[in-house]
């Protein structure tokens, strides 16, 4: 279905799964004090996927010139969905996302939290229309948004429930969420640069100043390699600190997160073609998914 492709339904499904794992497989097994009931949590998830879907639509709207060069066979807007319809969906999804955010912010007694919905909405529009072609800035904005998907559950479910008595426990749990958010940020940041490598021809013709356009593919590979060492070190730290006592969790991290990342590092120096970079992008997507899914393992590791 063209609309599901436009909003990147598999990516939205990953957001849903991640947030469900955080609340029901990370918070609840440890008896963490939370604020949101089942319905309110469902609204939070709906808000997040609405804003993410809107971001995907605005991205495609402003990527039409480059997509005609890089991947004309995958072009949706203008072929299967009109530009007017895409704009209408973009506006509607933003209204839904921010509207729910306004309700939830008042529900938890933190009206200022609505800014956490308005700012991503504005940033995604600003990214697609103004800074997408600016070296690294667009990559950073999108990656921060990915990291926020995890932290938002903590902000709305944990933070309002903090009391002097439960502060130490709530703080530990929230900091673990922050660690996962940093992991998601780094892996997605890598993937954004790899996608720039894949799209270099169209970006160059569109006048985008992406890292590959400025440095060339070979030098950009060195930058990617250096950044990829950061999540690798983070995984090693987590295995040593939290997972070594649980063999299933340790093997999961070694073979499904760290192993693919090492494979990525081995294949990266030899990457030259669009096909090579597309393959590496898929590998990073797999690493991001398995890394986030591992948050459901903590009840087996720490309990």
- Residue 12 C-beta-side C-alpha neighbours within 13 Å: 20
Let me know: does 125 contact 82? Beta carbons within 8 Å. no
Strand partners, 81: 77
Torsion of CA 238, 241, 247, 253, to 10 degrees: 10
Q: Write phi, then psi, for 81 (nearest 5 degrees).
A: -135, 130
Domain that holds residue 274: 2-301
Look at the chain and report how many structural domains it folds into. Answer: 1
Is 81 strand, coil or helix? Answer: strand
CA neighbor of 51 nearest in space, from 13, 96, 81: 96
Q: What are the backbone dihedrals phi and psi of residue 59, each rounded to the nearest 5 degrees, phi first?
A: -65, -45
How far is it, in rounded angstroms, from Cα 3 to Cα 47?
Answer: 18
Cα separation, 123 vs 147, whole angstroms:
14
Would you give per-residue pLDDT tens digits along the chain (303 residues)? 888 888 889 999 999 999 999 999 999 888 889 999 999 999 999 999 999 998 888 878 877 777 777 777 778 887 888 889 988 999 999 999 999 999 999 999 999 999 999 988 787 777 666 666 666 777 787 888 889 999 999 999 999 999 889 999 899 899 999 999 999 999 999 999 999 898 888 777 777 788 888 888 889 999 999 999 999 999 998 888 877 777 888 889 899 999 999 999 999 999 989 899 999 999 999 999 999 998 887 776 665
Token pair for 148: 């926020």
């Amino acid at each position: 279905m063209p609309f599901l492709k436009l909003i990147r339904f598999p990516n939205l499904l990953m957001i849903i799964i991640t947030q469900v794992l955080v609340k029901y497989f990370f918070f609840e097994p440890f008896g963490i004090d939370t604020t949101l009931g089942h319905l309110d949590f469902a609204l939070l998830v709906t808000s997040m996927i609405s804003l993410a879907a809107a971001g995907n639509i605005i991205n495609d709207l402003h990527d039409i010139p480059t997509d005609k060069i890089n991947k004309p066979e995958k072009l949706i807007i203008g072929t299967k969905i009109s530009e007017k319809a895409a704009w209408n969906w973009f506006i509607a999804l933003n209204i839904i996302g921010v509207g729910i955010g306004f309700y939830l912010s008042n529900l938890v007694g933190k009206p200022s939290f609505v800014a956490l919905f308005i700012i991503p909405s504005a940033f995604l529009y600003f990214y697609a229309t103004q800074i997408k072609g600016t070296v690294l800035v667009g990559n950073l904005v999108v990656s921060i948004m990915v990291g926020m998907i995890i932290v938002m559950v903590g902000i709305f479910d944990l933070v309002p429930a903090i009391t002097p008595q439960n502060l130490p426990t709530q703080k530990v749990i929230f900091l673990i969420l922050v660690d996962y958010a940093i992991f998601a940020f780094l892996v997605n940041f890598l993937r954004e640069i790899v996608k720039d490598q894949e799209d270099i021809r169209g970006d160059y013709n569109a006048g985008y100043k992406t890292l590959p356009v400025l440095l060339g593919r070979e030098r950009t590979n060195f930058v990617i390699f250096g950044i990829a060492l950061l999540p690798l070190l983070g995984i090693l730290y987590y295995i040593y600190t939290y997972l070594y006592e649980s063999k299933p969790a340790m093997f999961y991290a070694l073979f499904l997160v760290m192993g693919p990342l090492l494979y990525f590092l081995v294949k990266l120096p030899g990457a030259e073609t669009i096909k090579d970079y597309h393959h590496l992008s898929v590998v990073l997507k797999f690493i991001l998914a398995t890394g986030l899914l591992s948050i459901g393992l903590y009840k087996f590791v720490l309990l």
